[in-house]
Chains A and B, each alone.
Chain A
Amino acid sequence: MSTFEERKAGFLAIELDGAGYEGIAAAVLAAESAGFHAATFKDTPEAGRTNALQRAAFAGPLTRTIAVVPEIDTVYTEPFHVSTQLASLDYVSGGRAGWIATAAVSPEAAAAVGRSFVEGDALAQEAAASIEVGRRLWDSWEDDAVIRDVATGRYIDVDKLHYADFETPADFSGAAYSVKGPSIIPRPLQGQLPVLAAASLVGEGLVPADAVDAVLVSAPTPELLATEVRDTRARLGSSVAIVAELDVVLDSRGQAAESRALSDQKDGTPREGRFARFAGSAASLTELLDSLLREADGVRLHPAVLDVELEELSRLVLPELRRRGVLRPPVQDGTFRDVLGLAPAENRYSTTAAAPLAAGK
């Protein structure tokens, strides 16, 4: 585990949903040049919202530093497809992909694919199963499986390909299923993509903590957020990175954040209210982030109006945080694992390396 001093230099992620599908390029480039470490892409059902994984894939070749991290549901999707899609995202982004694994609580999503509505404990079971399938398939090709050995005529070494042979556990509430493997795409560039999930989905009796690399922690107010981060760390242990969730409205263009927040609520759709909301000046946000980044490994910002907040963040907040040494410098051509401070991923099926890690992360 990293020491407090090392951890103090944290990372910042930004949710880019506000860019829609026509503004992806401009938004992700602006976020990258502002120094954000990761861009996330929402996928909850909403009119006009395109597939998050595809938006992330579109952003991949346009950027070189920022990680691209889509939400993908685990309940009403095919784990085999999701695994392949994420591995592919890792290839098109040069190893900068991650996965926010979600568990949709949605009768509409169930009806759309003709499945029974899943709720309660079964949600975490679906998420845990999908994540396990994803991880096994990502390991199902060893790194050096493509040998291109002209002498023997072998393109791959079949001893370095492995069946995943996943089966849902006996106590699985939903319809049991199995996934054979191997993957149809070689091991992702990062070996294992970092997997993130809401902290409420992770822990004892839920998705096991060692199945994820980071959790997203939310609280009703910014004041409560630091406490929630500490509680979550105590609950899940130190092997899981903690990312605090924060809605942000800033004073901008002569308008106070509070009045912007009000007009936003009056005219637009009511805000979701899932996350602590900060409304105020860039300077006070800088102070808040400075203190949050001493507790959490990273903070994800949800800007009220992407263009407006991104401009203020880029001009006033990130430079000051960097000056204070609170923010890690972004690394060009680095991986998302690097951002999260994860060691190279061992392969659970490895025939050549030393003993693999239990969770294969």
Chain B
Amino acid sequence: MTRDIFQPSGQIQFGIFFQGVNSGTIWKAPQAGSQTDFESFRHIAQTAERGKFAAFFLGEGLRLREHLGRPHALDVVGRPDAQTMLAALAAVTTNIGLVATQNTTYNDPADLAHRLSSLDLISGGRAAWNIVTTDNAWTGANFRRGGYLDHADRYKHAEAFVETAKRLWDSWETPTGPARRVLHEGQHYTVDVTPRLPRSAQYRPVLFQAGDSPDGRDFAARQADVIFSAHPKFDDAVEFRRDIVARSIAAGRGANAVQIMPASEFILAATDQEAQEKKAWVRSLQIGPQQAIAYLEQFWGRELSTYDPDGPLPEIDPVVEETSETRGSGFHGAKARQLADQWRAEAKDKGLSIRQFVTSKTARIDSTFTGSYTAVADHLAEYARVGAVDGFNISPWLIPTGLDDIVNHLVPELQERGVYPTEYRGTTLRENLGLETPVRSEEPAHV
């Protein structure tokens, strides 16, 4: 059956991920603008739309990152509510998709489905939901529920949540009603609601998902339209595609049913040489001396400010069993002592200072495309040719002008190569991504 054979589209698309937190966004450069003013968001979104980007992504903050028991001070931080910002951007854009990262752990299905429907209607069918899960009580301290979910249960819970949301979006028989009542009784919540909003121009919000564990991949293969993946490097991307195609088919969906857009960073210039110089500059601003020390402190669990960032790694040992101090970032639960030994050896071997070592650990080596506009365009055309990915979700390292050179120089190169859209295909995100319209389930009322 042809739907079981993957067909490369020969095209790639771009999304933009306005991160709002962490060290990827540089703020020390004179060109760095506000992280919260609406004008920064407007500039990025309108630039992306000028470059025919498929989607504009926002993350979701549920608790500020902390470092040694206090809010983390060194990186950009402080960001708006995703759907509120996207509703505002809907007013000043016309085609670009609006993707809200929203948590299944600290939202209610009926409320979240209603708000996403709302965004979808207000934007004329451009909304999407990037589904994420959280399980820790530390985040729960900001919510009525508190922490309530075991790590092992998070995908089970998330999937029940997503299926409930889909039933809510399926509930209107015609665009004018009537709606069927949706009941769900689960371990963690119950829902009994008759949805109030009709389907949108794209039927329902597009679903993105970023899980990378085997469970996360299966979840995405069953439920998602697009995977926001962590595999942008060519060979890795090809392998990830194979894996997802197999999982989609196993889930009873077509080989092309799930699209893939890896997270990525672009450092571009007129020549490869200039791009490399620019990269060194960007890295120096992403990981300054203080960030380098703070990075180690989260694994050592103690202050290391007396150590020289340009000297070797600390000879003293971590004071914690497990790393957990900088919340809201990765590496929770690594064995601290073991990691420290390993890192000291590695840094010594390679002759790296603290700063050089931390830069190498955080440099997103696998997700950065560095080079001249033409060289990077040639490289991306290869992805399009074999269908390694459906596009890239770009995190700009500079706000608000970080997309300017991509849109002004890279996009035209890609268009010349015939691998990037020259116009939006339609007005909805689903149309622009080339996704099929969902078929309404024939579930009887009052399940």
Binding site for B on A (CB under 8 A): 21, 24-25, 45-51, 53-55, 57-62, 76-81, 84-85, 87-89, 91-94, 108, 111-114, 141, 146, 148, 150, 152-158, 161, 175, 177-182, 184-186
Which chain B residue shows the least CB distance to A54?
A: B87
Chain A residues in 8 Å Cβ range of B189: 113-114
Taking a contact as CB atoms under 8 Å apart, the answer to whether A153 and B71 are in contact is no
Q: What separation, in Å, do the CA atoms of A59 and B122 have in the docked complex? A: 11
Q: When chains A and B are docked, how far (Å) is the Cα of A47 from the Cα of B64?
A: 37
Which of A61, A111, A155, A178 is in CB contact (< 8 Å) with B38?
Answer: A61
Interface string of B52-73 (1 = CB under 8 A from A): 0000000001111000001101
14 contacts between A and B (CB under 8 A): A46-B196, A51-B87, A78-B107, A80-B142, A87-B80, A88-B80, A91-B80, A92-B84, A114-B190, A152-B290, A158-B73, A161-B71, A184-B78, A185-B81
Residues on the B chain within 8 Å of A85, using CB:
81, 83-84
Residue contact A178 to B36, C-beta cutoff 8 Å:
no
> Within 8 Å CB of B144, what residues of A?
78-79, 175, 177
CB closest chain-B residue, reference A70: B84
Residue of B nearest to A177 (CB): B144
A49 to B117, CA, bound (A): 11
Are A51 and B115 closer than 8 Å at their CB atoms? yes
Q: Are the C-beta atoms of A155 and B77 separated by less than 8 Å?
A: yes
Q: With the chains together, A192 CA to B64 CA distance in Å?
A: 20
Please indicate the chain B residues that have their CB under 8 angstroms from the CB of A79 in the complex.
144
Are A57 and B88 neighbours in the complex by a CB distance under 8 Å? yes
Q: Which residues of B have CB within 8 Å of A59?
A: 91
B251 interface contact, C-beta 8 A = no
Asked if B122 contacts A50 (CB within 8 A), the reply is: yes
- Does B229 touch A at the CB level, under 8 Å? no
User: Assuming the A-B contacts A50-B197, A111-B193, A184-B63, are A58 and B87 also in contact, with contact meaning beta carbons closer than 8 angstroms in the complex?
Assistant: yes
Chain A residues whose C-beta falls within 8 Å of the C-beta of B312 in the assembled complex:
none
Q: Which residue of B lies closest to A97 (CB)?
A: B84
Residues in chain A near residue B61, CB distance under 8 A = 84, 184-185
Binding site for A on B (CB under 8 A): 27-28, 35-38, 41-42, 61-64, 70-71, 73-81, 83-85, 87-92, 106-108, 110-111, 114-115, 117-119, 121-122, 141-144, 146, 177, 179, 189-194, 196-198, 288-291
- The answer to whether A92 and B111 have CB atoms under 8 Å apart is no
Contacts of B36 in A (CB 8 A): 91, 185-186
Residue of A nearest to B102 (CB): A81
Are B91 and A60 neighbours in the complex by a CB distance under 8 Å? yes
Nearest chain B CB to A47 CB, angstrom units: 5
On whether the beta carbons of B74 and A114 are closer than 8 Å, the reply is no
The 3 closest A-B pairs by CB, nearest first: A153-B290, A184-B61, A92-B88
Q: Are B91 and A62 in contact (CB under 8 A)?
A: yes
The reply to whether B122 and A91 contact each other, CB–CB distance below 8 Å, is no
With CB as the reference atom, state the residue of chain A lying closest to B116: A51
Does B193 lie within 8 Å of A108, measured CB to CB?
A: yes
Does B38 lie within 8 Å of A50, measured CB to CB?
no
Contact A51 B114 (CB under 8 A): yes
How far is it, in angstroms, between the C-alpha of A153 and the C-alpha of B285 when the chains are bound? 10
* Closest beta carbon of chain A to B179's beta carbon, Å: 8
CA distance A93 to B141 in the complex (A): 29
**In the bound complex, how far is the Cα of B143 from the Cα of A154, in angstroms?**
29
Q: Are B81 and A113 in contact (CB under 8 A)?
A: no
Question: Is there an interface contact between A185 and B119, defined as CB atoms closer than 8 Å?
Answer: no
Q: When the two chains form the complex, which single residue of B70, B111, B142, B198 contacts A158, counting CB atoms closer than 8 Å?
A: B70
- Nearest A residue to B291 by beta-carbon distance? A153
> Pick the contact of B196 from A24, A49, A81, A186 — CB < 8 Å?
A49
Compute how far the CA of A150 lies from the CA of B290 in the bound complex, rounded to whole angstroms: 10
- For the complex, give the distance between the alpha carbons of A111 and B35 in Å: 38
Residues in A whose Cβ lies below 8 Å from that of B114: 51
B111 touches A150 (CB 8 A): no
Pick from B36, B80, B197, B198 the residue with the most CB of A within 10 Å: B80
Residue in B closest to A137 when the chains form the complex, CB atoms: B142
- Per the bound structure, the CA–CA distance linking A84 and B117 in Å amounts to 20
In whole Å, how far is A254's beta carbon from the nearest beta carbon of chain B? 31
Q: Are B73 and A154 in contact (CB under 8 A)?
A: yes
Closest-CB distance, B325 to chain A (whole angstroms) = 14
A158 touches B87 (CB 8 A): no
Provide the bound-state CA to CA distance between A159 and B118, in Å.
Answer: 38
- Residue of A91, A113, A182 near B110 (CB, 8 A) is A113
Cβ 8 A contact of A155, one of B73, B92, B119, B197? B73
A157 and B73 contact, Cβ closer than 8 Å, known pairs A48-B196, A112-B110: yes
A21 touches B85 (CB 8 A): no
CB nearest to A141 among chain B residues? B78
> Which residues of chain A are within 8 angstroms of B117 by Cβ–Cβ distance?
50
Cα distance A92–B87 in the bound complex, in angstroms: 10
**A89 touching B84 in the complex, CB below 8 Å, given contacts A48-B198, A61-B92, A182-B64:** yes
Most buried by B among A77, A153, A177: A153
> For residue B118, which residues in chain A have a CB less than 8 angstroms away from its CB?
21, 50-51, 54
Which B residues are in CB contact (< 8 Å) with A49? 196-197
| Contact pick for A156, options B28, B78, B192, CB 8 Å | B78
Chain B residues near A46 (CB-CB < 8 A): 196
Cβ contact within 8 Å between A84 and B70: no
Q: Please give 8 more A-B residue pairs, beta carbons under 8 A apart, in addition to A45-B196, A49-B196, A61-B92.
A: A48-B197, A50-B122, A81-B106, A92-B88, A155-B73, A155-B77, A184-B61, A185-B61
- In the complex, how many angstroms separate the beta carbon of B169 from the nearest chain A beta carbon? 14
Instruction: Please state if B74 and A153 are interface contacts (CB–CB under 8 Å).
Output: yes
Q: Which residues of A contact B177 (CB under 8 A)?
A: 47
- CB-defined contacts of B198 to chain A, threshold 8 Å: 48
CA distance A24 to B214 in the complex (A): 44
Given A80-B143, A112-B192: A184 and B289 interface contact (C-beta under 8 Å):
no
